[in-house]
Structure 1
Amino acid sequence: MPMPMTAAAIRPVSIKIDDDTKARVKRLAVARQRTAHWLMHEAITQYVEREEKREAFRQDTLKAWQEYRTTGLHVSADEADAWLAQLEQGKDIEPPECHV
């Protein structure tokens, strides 16, 4: 969850972009009736949030893989497919049990 910004937390940062990208940002800012600064801030914020979620997913995947390698517990693709098919039909059933 993003932290609220306060005046004390905001620090200026400069980035280098080519003239074409700068012009594109300005055109888009005008079209959106926003400042170029707002547009760049929004783009960076969205990028960081997306990449944080991607990294959390990656870490969860690595953790699950390590747990499988340690325990051998798993559900087969056929078992998972059968369970998902039941859910698609509106049946509220428990997931299949993991096994070796």
Structure 2
Amino acid sequence: MALYDRIVAATKAAFGQGINPHLFRDCAATSVAVDDPAQIGIASQLLGHRSQATTERYYNQAHSLEAARSMQANLVRLRHGPRLPLDTVEDPG
């Protein structure tokens, strides 16, 4: 628990928000799923999962993230009218 508390305190001091050790693992798997979905298998090895199903949970989370970004981009386009090309909409994440 002492190491956990030190990591949370250090990340809070550095970023203004505490990050627990498990969230670093979550971020690693989600980053692989978002940035290179074809390589999602490496996330299992990286995290030491015995089952690909465990890692698949994070892959599904990545799909939710992509869906939220797409929805945000569409809302921005709707606000600015139909003539705004999609490639001019900034990625909110």
Give the structure-1-normalised TM-score.
0.34
Give the greater-gyration-radius structure (CA): 1
Higher helix share: 2
